[in-house]
Amino acid sequence: ATAKQPYRTSYHFQPQENWMNDPNGPMYYKGVYHLFYQHNPEAATFGDRIVWGHSVSYDLINWIHLNNAIEPSGPYDINSCWSGSATIIPGKEEPMILYTGIDDKKHQVQNLAVPRNLSDTFLREWVKHSQNPVMTPPSGVEVDNFRDPSTAWQGKDGKWRVVVGAQNGDEGKAILYQSEDFVNWKVDPNPFYASQNTGVCECPDFFPVYINGSTNGVETSLQNPSVRHVLKISYLRKQHDYYFLGNYASDQGNFIPDVRFTGTSSDLRYDYGKFYASKSFFETAKNRRILWGWVNESDSTQDDIQKGWAGLQTIPRQVWLDKSGKRLVQWPLEEVEQLRGKHIRITRENLEHGSNLEVSGITASQADVEVLFELPELEKAEFLDPNGVDPQLLCSQEYAARSGTIGPFGLLALASKDLKEHTAVFFRIYRAPNGYVCLMCSDQSRSSLRHDLDKTTYGSILDIDPNLKTISLRSLIDHSIVESFGDEGRVCITSRVYPSLAIDKDAHLYVFNYGSQSVVVSELNAWSMKQAEIGYEGNISYT
């Protein structure tokens, strides 16, 4: 980030310029990570000729930009190449990409592309299959709402299966297809998943997770009693990524979620802030499932045109099922820690009511901070009945500066010296009818003196153990993004902010407690983060 580009990030994935949205076809192939992404090469806004940008990496942090991998070329994708996924065929070790084409009639169809040359380490060139399109809108699906094929999985019968997002009126669906050869696909007349009054299901992602609390990822095709399944749907109307834990009834060809979508704050989300159209993949090097998500801007289109770019990807996260079996856990990949530079450590610091302690000595505009808070006796907490409460609303009412009993306590990120600007990421603990709950908020309302920004406060409520003694918070701060992980990754909130004062050296970081009860910073570790090497092939030293 420079003075002219104060909001450009230093270690988040971005193209050199112009518009980016969904992550596409992430995969790990012969020692190389690939990230494709929805890209408008012509402008910093979405457009009518979207292509697949392509970058490669050896560590998921430093990236080499290559030429676009997939661009409109035939009648089946002439009006754009939209989102899709990669599948690596075992045995043959061949990657296949299924993506959505906007065809010459502006209908949405699914197409197949394969690498031209498997011995090119970076798989720079992709060839479209002669039988494209390989899927066209089936009956009961709107021709312009049929998109985003998932990574395929192989059933016990050897057949490949994928789901495609769709809509019919108000009904959202994930449509199941089967194939023996990846080219000829047969639609299943019954939807794999459907939801009423939701509108279109975008970017379905379907994968198994271990039920024993292991952080290991599971290969997408694995089916046995040691796993359960996750279906993620991006609901366009909500602009959020919701996930469902449930049973995969492979014989019936459908997915039965434990809990249905309600459209309320009780639905589970990957992230309670800005995060959409995410996609996961299983990686064999470290046996992990890795999740990428698109983070949209919160400034105006006019601002984006001025900046010359729009859209970020999150730091890739490892994802697994919590030992409770009730929710997923996400944690930034350990590779990001290689960027940690100067380190500041604070231990056993008592934060009385109204304290603000500056974490000085690091670059607060570009930092990784982990803090463990020691809680007072939980019985002292105020009462809250979380039923019917919208945590987002609660976060905007119970803003950071307002005192409670236990909390608000947390971090003030990207803060100006006078605190006129700050992004508050914090917790409040409440006594609830059936135990205790923790409210986590990311409050952007005071993040900038600038106007015309979306400063919605984000929040979520988490059940906590009545014997809980500590709670952790980690935030990855990178100029215009704050990605926060509460309670070891059980709640994630990503915020986009555009400070006018708290830029570069004028940004500060504080740990605070405005609750009437003291909390103790049991341990705080903060690091200045180095810049990741992200650039065009040939222009960077990273190879």
Residue numbers at the binding site for ligand FRU (CB under 6 A) = 21-22, 38, 50, 82-83, 100, 147-148, 202-203, 276-277
Question: Which residues contact residue 508 at a Cβ distance below 8 angstroms, ignoring those fewer than 6 apart?
Answer: 358, 360, 364, 412, 415, 416, 417, 502
Helices (H), 212-254: none
R_g of the chain, CA atoms, integer Å: 23
CB of 176 to ligand FRU, least distance (A): 18
| 22 catalytic per annotation | yes
* DSSP, res 48: S
| Helix (H), strand (E) at residue 371 | strand 366-374
**Nearest CA-CA partner of 474 in 402, 420, 527, 533:** 527
Q: Where are the beta strands (DSSP E) in 219-338?
A: 227-235, 240-249, 254-257, 276-283, 288-295, 309-310, 312-313, 317-321, 328-332
* Tokens read off for 468: 């809980």
Catalytic residue among 22, 103, 241, 368: 22
What is d(CA 283, CA 264) in angstroms, rounded to the nearest whole number?
Answer: 33
What is d(CA 189, CA 173) in angstroms, rounded to the nearest whole number?
Answer: 12
CB of 499 to ligand FRU, least distance (A): 27
Q: Return the number of the residue (11 or 275) whose C-beta is nearest ligand FRU.
A: 275
Question: Which residues contact residue 289 at a Cβ distance below 8 angstroms, ignoring those fewer than 6 apart?
Answer: 207, 209, 217, 218, 280, 281, 282, 283, 318, 319, 320
Q: Return the number of the residue (22 or 368) whose C-beta is nearest ligand FRU.
A: 22
Strand order in the sheet with 227-235: 201-210, 227-235, 240-249, 254-257
> What DSSP letter does each residue of 105-137 carry, written as one string?
TS-EEEEEEEES-TTSTT---EEE-TT--SB--
Helices (H), 291-336: 301-307
* Tokens read off for 48: 């009518």
Q: Return the number of the residue (22 or 304) whose C-beta is nearest ligand FRU.
A: 22
3-state class of 301 per DSSP? Answer: helix
What one-letter code names the amino acid at 236?
A: L
How would you classify the pairing of strands 171-179 and 160-168?
Answer: antiparallel
What is d(CA 274, CA 497) in angstroms, rounded to the nearest whole number?
Answer: 11
CB of 304 to ligand FRU, least distance (A): 15
User: Residue 144's CB: how many other CB atoms inside 10 A?
Assistant: 14
CB of 148 to ligand FRU, least distance (A): 5
Q: Return the number of the residue (38 or 221) whose C-beta is nearest ligand FRU.
A: 38
Contact between residue 353 and residue 519 where contact means Cβ atoms under 8 Å apart: no
In total, the chain counts a number of residues equal to: 543
Inter-CA distances, 530 with 127, 263, 366, 538, Å: 37, 40, 8, 21
Q: Return the number of the residue (59 or 454) whose C-beta is nearest ligand FRU.
A: 454
The distance of Cα 130 from the centroid of its chain, to the nearest Å, equals 34
Q: Return the number of the residue (141 or 406) whose C-beta is nearest ligand FRU.
A: 141
Q: Which residues are catalytic?
A: 22
